[in-house]
Amino acid sequence: MRIGAIEAGGTKFVLGIGDENGEILDRLSLPTGHPAETLPRVIEYFQDKQVEAIGVGSFGPIDINPESPTYGCVTSTPKPGWENYDMLGTLRHAFPVPFGWDTDVNAAAYGEAKWGAAQGLSSCLYYTVGTGVGVGVYSEGTIIHGLVHPEGGHVLTRRHPEDKFAGVCPYHGDCLEGMAAGPAIEARWGKKGHELPLDHAAWEMEAFYIAQSITSAILLLSPHKIILGGGVMQQQQLFPLIRQAVLQNLNGYVRSSSLLDHMDEYIVPPGLGPQAGLYGALALGLAAWKHEAAK
Amino acid sequence: MRIGAIEAGGTKFVLGIGDENGEILDRLSLPTGHPAETLPRVIEYFQDKQVEAIGVGSFGPIDINPESPTYGCVTSTPKPGWENYDMLGTLRHAFPVPFGWDTDVNAAAYGEAKWGAAQGLSSCLYYTVGTGVGVGVYSEGTIIHGLVHPEGGHVLTRRHPEDKFAGVCPYHGDCLEGMAAGPAIEARWGKKGHELPLDHAAWEMEAFYIAQSITSAILLLSPHKIILGGGVMQQQQLFPLIRQAVLQNLNGYVRSSSLLDHMDEYIVPPGLGPQAGLYGALALGLAAWKHEAAK
């Protein structure tokens, strides 16, 4: 079986062909330009690949409600040409196969649950901390959509006692993304994250914000695993700082051995590494194929 | 059909008999004493009622993982006699019928989704704000359990700028429950909530904390409806204050008409009033009966 996978990111599109066992057989990366330029290149890639279904994990916000007239569109984005662009419709027009369609972070959470760090578990959260912060939610064996889709990168935060930084989120100022995304690190410290030394105070502060949102997510959703990906999380020194802060925040309240005794295996990097999103898109395509085949 | 329903609260047990249409045919309320005293009264009530299944929504934390050796027990509680008490086992021993078993707030969320304010919707959150704060989570047509079960009353909060109160939560100090439960209102202002005038500053501050946690829950989970019950929410003046604060917090970021144009119908009191928990227990019992019948 050949399933197409599209990780549609704000910076780059990653295209791939995979099979039902989660093997990626081919892979191509493109910079994200104007849709009139990018989508034809995507279509060209899949033209001769004979895929039986395609899964798309997209940057957003996007419309993932099949009942909505704008299903399949990117809704609001500052990226030129993409606001209200019907990405799924354009792809469907080119390929008459079943399509899976979800947010990039939901796709990554799903991919990790199928083949990665949360394999065999009925729930996980996937955080990406990079240019922005996004959270994919997989719970009770299903991807969570709800009214729109999760936008957990924008949850409110309490301030670090030594932090006077105003935050960079244009909507909320000092929400999680406003305080902890890559641009916030750069604006606060005057240097990019990878230019700061490993023992810089920035990392304890960064861990403080990420751990806070994880603590609240554990309390609200009780996930089996928390997976942290994205550019900022390449700073491996963050993991022990975050785990320690989460344990301090919870203060023994949630009595689960997974938290109390195995925190090192509870908050982890993606099992699929930087390809979690592409594998997730493959998993979405496979699910769409199965759904169609079951009809 | 006759289904038993048990709302096992920390202050009182409410017992009932209902049918498959969500009609409550009989109802009895008991004060919660030591389990050796309360459970025999519960068993006595159902003895001659010929129920085909029983649903229980219990105060907690409780063990709701069927794979766990302590499934059906209350786990940690300061209430004398209840810590590690096998409530479900005791009931099962008395009645060889299918049992539903979940937290009181998950039961209330489920009841509201089946017959109340969230009827026909695939997701809702049920908050109870009273002696403590609890959050039940229903999402994608199913109750969320995860690793343990949601404990959303303890999410972290940012402080109201004029609030110097330390918070009353023994685990977290100034978490949501620590700042907004009934005992926090009384400790902060020196009076019980119902003794404070409707225009007292306490209500704006109370709305600030509740709205903050709702905002983060909307961002993380995107529920179709938020239902607010419990003793503190009898203060009806809180609803418009909370709705307004949530809209201010979100600041137009989540583009859904349900939020932007219909907030009055989005954050609402329980459609089943103070009996949401009992109806939820009935719904759990009915689901357990159906699950058994489908085998």
Q: Residue A79 has what pLDDT?
A: 87
Q: Residue A96 has what pLDDT?
A: 97
Query: How far apart (Å, rounded) are the C-alpha atoms in residues A132 and A232?
Result: 10
Query: How far apart (Å, rounded) are the C-alpha atoms in residues A142 and A216?
Result: 21
Q: Is the pLDDT of residue A252 over 90?
A: yes
Residue B18 pLDDT grade (very low, low, confident, very high; cuts 50, 70, 90): very high
Residue A276 pLDDT grade (very low, low, confident, very high; cuts 50, 70, 90): very high
Residue A200 backbone phi and psi in degrees, to 5:
-70, 145
Contacts of A153 in chain B (CB under 8 A): 219
Average pLDDT of the residues in A225-231: 97
User: Inter-chain contact A144–B221, Cβ cutoff 8 Å?
Assistant: yes
pLDDT tens across A145-174, in order? 999 999 999 999 999 999 999 999 999 999
Is the domain A117-269 a CATH 1.10.3720.10 member?
Answer: no
Q: Which of residues 10-49 of B touch A (CB under 8 A)?
A: none
How far is A147 from chain B, CA to nearest CA, in Å?
Answer: 5
Residue B76 pLDDT grade (very low, low, confident, very high; cuts 50, 70, 90): confident
Cα angle B84, B87, B89 (rounded to 5 degrees) comes to: 105
Contacts of A142 in chain B (CB under 8 A): 140, 142
Q: Is the pLDDT of residue B77 over 90?
A: no
Q: Residue B261 has what pLDDT?
A: 97
Average pLDDT of the residues in B92-115: 98
Query: How far apart (Å, rounded) are the C-alpha atoms in residues B113 and B124?
Result: 7
Average pLDDT of the residues in B264-288: 98
Nearest CA in chain B to A122: B146
Query: How far apart (Å, rounded) are the C-alpha atoms in residues A180 and A14?
Result: 25
User: Inter-chain contact A123–B142, Cβ cutoff 8 Å?
Assistant: no
CB-nearest partner of A253 from B158, B171, B256 = B171
pLDDT tens across B280-294, in order? 999 999 999 999 999
- Asked if A219 is an interface residue toward chain B (Cβ–Cβ < 8 A), one would say yes
User: Inter-chain contact B147–A224, Cβ cutoff 8 Å?
Assistant: yes
Average pLDDT of the residues in A264-287: 98
- pLDDT averaged over every residue in chain B: 97
Contacts of A106 in chain B (CB under 8 A): none
Q: Find where tokens 């005992």 sit.
A: B183
Contacts of A147 in chain B (CB under 8 A): 123, 222-224, 256, 258-259
Q: Is the pLDDT of residue B129 over 90?
A: yes
Q: What percent of chain B has pLDDT over 70?
A: 100
Q: Which tokens in the block code for residue B148?
A: 């343990």
Contacts of B157 in chain A (CB under 8 A): 158
Q: Residue A50 has what pLDDT?
A: 97
- Asked if B149 is an interface residue toward chain A (Cβ–Cβ < 8 A), one would say yes
A3-103+274-293: CATH number: 3.30.420.40
Q: Residue B79 has what pLDDT?
A: 87
- Asked if B144 is an interface residue toward chain A (Cβ–Cβ < 8 A), one would say yes
Cis before A240? omega within 30: no
Q: Where do runs of H (alpha helix) occur along chain A?
A: 35-47, 87-94, 104-115, 176-180, 182-189, 201-221, 238-250, 257-260, 263-266, 276-293
- Asked if A50 is an interface residue toward chain B (Cβ–Cβ < 8 A), one would say no
Q: What percent of chain B has pLDDT over 90?
A: 97
Q: Which of residues 150-209 of A touch B (CB under 8 A)?
A: 150-159, 171-172
Query: How far apart (Å, rounded) are the C-alpha atoms in residues A196 and A237?
Result: 12
Q: Which of helix, strand or coil describes residue A143?
A: strand
CA A7 → CA A16, A55, A108, distances in Å?
Answer: 9, 8, 9
Residue A32 pLDDT grade (very low, low, confident, very high; cuts 50, 70, 90): very high
Query: How far apart (Å, rounded) are the C-alpha atoms in residues B241 and B223?
Result: 20
- Asked if A60 is an interface residue toward chain B (Cβ–Cβ < 8 A), one would say no
> So what's the ipTM on this one?
0.96
Q: Is B235 left (phi over 0), alpha (psi -120 to 50) or beta?
A: beta
Query: How far apart (Å, rounded) are the C-alpha atoms in residues B65 and B152?
Result: 18
Average pLDDT of the residues in A109-138: 98
CA A267 → CA A167, A212, A271, B149, B262, distances in Å?
Answer: 25, 13, 11, 18, 38
Contacts of A255 in chain B (CB under 8 A): 61, 75-76, 148
Nearest CA in chain B to A60: B254
Q: Is the pLDDT of residue B78 over 90?
A: no
Q: What is the DSSP string of chain B?
A: --EEEEEE-SSEEEEEEE-TTS-EEEEEEEE---HHHHHHHHHHHHHTS--SEEEEEE-SSB---TTSTTTTBB-S-SSTTTTT-BHHHHHHHH--S-EEEEEHHHHHHHHHHHHSTTTT-S-EEEEEESSSEEEEEEETTEE--TTS---GGG-B-PPPTT------BTTTBSBHHHHHSHHHHHHHHSS-GGGS-TT-HHHHHHHHHHHHHHHHHHHHH--S-EEEESGGGG-TTHHHHHHHHHHHHHTT-S--HHHHT-HHHHEE--TTGGGHHHHHHHHHHHHHHHHHHT-
Query: How far apart (Å, rounded) are the C-alpha atoms in residues B202 and B198?
Result: 9
Provide the number of CB pairs (under 8 Å) joining chain A to chain B. 148
Count Cα neighbours of B175 within 13 Å in the Cβ-side half-sphere.
24
| Whether the Cβ atoms of residue B217 and residue B226 lie closer than 8 Å to each other | yes
Average pLDDT of the residues in B192-197: 97
- Asked if A149 is an interface residue toward chain B (Cβ–Cβ < 8 A), one would say yes
Average pLDDT of the residues in A262-291: 98
User: Inter-chain contact B155–A220, Cβ cutoff 8 Å?
Assistant: yes
User: Inter-chain contact A251–B76, Cβ cutoff 8 Å?
Assistant: no
- Asked if B140 is an interface residue toward chain A (Cβ–Cβ < 8 A), one would say yes
Q: Residue B26 has what pLDDT?
A: 97
Range(s) of chain B covered by CATH 3.30.420.40:
3-103+274-293, 117-269
pLDDT tens across B19-71, in order? 999 999 999 999 999 999 999 999 999 999 999 999 999 998 999 999 999 99
